[in-house]
Amino acid sequence: MSPVLIEEFVRIVSVGIEVLAVIVIGHGSIVAAYTALLGARRARERPFHYEHVRISLARALVLGLELEVGADLLETVVSPTWYRIGILSAIVVLRIVLNYVLQRDIDHLQSRLESESASNGRTAGQTDMEA
């Protein structure tokens, strides 16, 4: 295979991964917004905890950001200039920090919800609407 074909194939795969990342983040955002609106609407009848919405949205963001990092790595493989490597390094550092913060928040919220669920006699991950 010629290097030009390989480079073009990697670029196409990279764009596909970026599109998938946009779909994942978009879907997660829409689901979180819908769940939050539904919870707000039903809040008069029974309490609703938005932590479940935050966890769901954060998981989508983490997955989307991981996909974006993968796409950036593929792009750098096919055009490894120092400028591109520098840009990729800055992007990767920012995304790693963001992923770390999001994952820490997810873990914290999930452990808090599990301890609250255990004290209320519910199973972990069960929402107030399911109880």
In total, the chain counts a number of residues equal to 131
Mean pLDDT for all residues in the chain: 82
| pLDDT exceeds cutoff 60 at 123 | no
Give CA–CA dist 32/47, Å, rounded: 17
pLDDT digits (tens, 9 = 90+) for 69-98: 888 888 888 877 888 788 788 878 887 888
Query: CA 94 to CA 10: how far, in whole Å?
Result: 24
- Percent of all residues in the chain with a pLDDT value above 90, rounded to a whole number: 22
* pLDDT tens for each residue of 24-33: 999 999 999 9
**Angstrom distance (rounded) from CA 32 to CA 54:** 7
Q: How much of the chain exceeds pLDDT 70, in percent?
A: 92
